[in-house]
């Protein structure tokens, strides 16, 4: 009975460790993706503002409005793909 208990504790603790390692990795990857997107948006905003061209700012505003943003359900990879597309 003691061997079974020790084995069960070992299996459960290994499963919990693997689960939380996966959760951490997923959260870390998502945070890095969103950080890259925020950086890209900042660079694009600075570039549009540096032109002193109101048409460039309007194009940037339309680009922001066209991003697939859905609050906490936003897909980082979809936003990244939308940013990678050239301006229309």
Our count of domains for the chain comes to: 1
CB 26 within 8 A of CB 34: no
Domain range enclosing 23: 2-84
> Using CA atoms, how far apart are residues 40 and 47, in angstroms rounded to an integer?
11
* Mean pLDDT, rounded, for 50-77: 89
The pLDDT assigned to 78 comes to 92
Interatomic CA distance for residues 48 and 39, integer angstroms: 14
Mean pLDDT of the chain: 85
pLDDT at 81 over 60: yes
| Predicted TM-score (pTM) of this structure | 0.64
Look at residues 45, 34, 42, 43 and name the one whose alpha carbon lies nearest to residue 79: 34
In this prediction, residue 88 carries a pLDDT of 47
């Amino acid at each position: 009975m003691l061997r079974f208990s020790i084995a069960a504790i070992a299996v459960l603790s290994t499963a919990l460790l693997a689960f939380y390692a996966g959760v951490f990795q997923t959260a870390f990857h998502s945070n890095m993706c969103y950080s890259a997107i925020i950086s890209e948006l900042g660079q694009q905003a600075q570039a549009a503002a540096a032109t002193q061209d109101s048409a460039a700012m309007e194009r940037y505003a339309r680009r922001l409005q066209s991003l697939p943003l859905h609050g906490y359900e936003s897909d980082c990879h979809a936003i990244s793909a939308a940013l990678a597309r050239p301006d229309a």
